[in-house]
Amino acid sequence: MTMDDIIDSFNNGELDVEGYFNDYDTFFNILKKRGLMSQVNPDAPDSEEWQNEYLIWLYSNDKEKFDRYIEKFLGDVEIVNGNPYLILNSRGELSKLFCTFRNELRPETIEAVLDGEHDNYYDYSTDDVYRDVIEELTKENLRRLKEYIIDTLKGKQIPTSTEVLESIAQSQGNDYVTVDESNIDEIVDDKETMEELMDDELIDLKGELYSVHSGAYNSAYEDDLYDTIWDKLEEFFQGPGEWLSRPHTYKKDTEVQKFRVPIHNFYSNILDYLQDNKAYGHSGTLEYHGDYLSILHEGWECLKAWAPDYPDSRKVDKNINEYFSDYI
């Protein structure tokens, strides 16, 4: 047989390599000397015995072909202009890279956070809405709050249950208070008066302020939790990633959303895996695992993330003022 016949037979899984050449190393050395290695098909039948070794050679000698087979063997990898990306149906799939032993975040929690499906971490985020909401409002939101109170209490006779209310009533010549533009600043600035009103005439406002704080607090906590998780993922990936529209595999005129993120140290990780698993046969091949996440899960130490005790107060205050107009 000619060498071309031998290579064709090899690619079809019909060549008795040990019978002709003793072993795969000898066979490949002959192909290398004759410049024929590039004709080998890395997913030929029975390739698990030599596939890793061949891919290592291919990386150094025919990068374009190497990339093509990487994309074929690893269904979650896309290589664009030589840059490797991870392609997923959802960010939550990254949770398989995490593990827990004691107090770390559980993978199922991480999956929910990454997919934006985990919320209401704290049902009771404050015991003092005057301190934690009203005192943190911007001038614009304070103005909105005062207008709301005046409108809500319009035409009502407010009992003089605090010193401030009693003083206002005396100035109005009544034994009750009529809330208006002339006294609203004094009322809102006094915590005792506001708490009295929010336990009675402004009870609905109190509920809304609790909702404002709960939403602001939990949103800030979720952001911090997401950042904590992503800080760990940066061991393998670069940046926050992006969502792309792709044609559906089999549904005409239909698009699906895919999450794409650049892979950090992809080629060095792949080459390390190929080298370390050359002796493990089929179970040590890229084709066996089928995706890059499984390679990382199998060959690298799992990631661990811990939940923050509480969110950044600056984010909470910022959220309060952003959400306020949705409630008041």
Specify whether 323 is located in the same domain as 269: no
Structure-model confidence comparison of residues 17 and 89, the more confident one: 89
User: Is 160 part of a structural domain of the chain?
Assistant: yes
User: Is 109 part of a structural domain of the chain?
Assistant: no
Specify whether 323 is located in the same domain as 286: no
In angstroms, how far apart are the furthest CA atoms of the chain?
117
Nearest 5°: CA angle at 290, between 302 and 57?
95
Specify whether 323 is located in the same domain as 195: yes
**What is the domain count for the chain?**
2
SS3 assignment, position 317: helix
Q: How far apart are CA 8 and CA 41, in angstroms?
A: 9
Specify whether 279 is located in the same domain as 323: no
Specify whether 157 is located in the same domain as 15: no
Structural domain harbouring 143? 129-209+319-327
Task: Please tell me the pTM assigned to this model.
Answer: 0.80
Q: How far apart are CA 175 and CA 172, in angstroms?
A: 9
Specify whether 133 is located in the same domain as 203: yes
Specify whether 139 is located in the same domain as 177: yes
Q: Is the pLDDT of residue 119 over 70?
A: no
Other beta carbons within 10 angstroms of residue 201's beta carbon come to 16
Specify whether 200 is located in the same domain as 323: yes
User: Is 240 part of a structural domain of the chain?
Assistant: no
Specify whether 182 is located in the same domain as 140: yes
pLDDT band, very low/low/confident/very high, at 24 (cuts 50, 70, 90) = confident
pLDDT given for residue 120 in this prediction: 60
User: Is 220 part of a structural domain of the chain?
Assistant: no
Specify whether 323 is located in the same domain as 282: no
Q: Is the dihedral of CA 235, 94, 118, 121 positive or negative?
A: negative
User: Is 308 part of a structural domain of the chain?
Assistant: no
What is the per-residue DSSP string for 55-124? HHHHHHH-HHHHHHHHHHH-TTEEEETTEEEEEES-GGGGGGGB--SSSSPPHHHHHHHHTT----S-S-
User: Is 98 part of a structural domain of the chain?
Assistant: no
Which range, of 43-52, 247-256, 300-309, averages the lowest pLDDT? 247-256
Q: How far apart are CA 78 and CA 242, in angstroms?
A: 14
Structure-model confidence comparison of residues 122 and 104, the more confident one: 104
User: Is 231 part of a structural domain of the chain?
Assistant: no
Q: Is the pLDDT of residue 249 over 70?
A: yes
Specify whether 197 is located in the same domain as 323: yes
Q: What percent of the chain has pLDDT over 70?
A: 99
Per-residue pLDDT tens over the stretch 136-194: 999 999 999 999 999 999 999 999 999 999 999 999 999 999 999 999 999 999 999 99
User: Is 30 part of a structural domain of the chain?
Assistant: yes
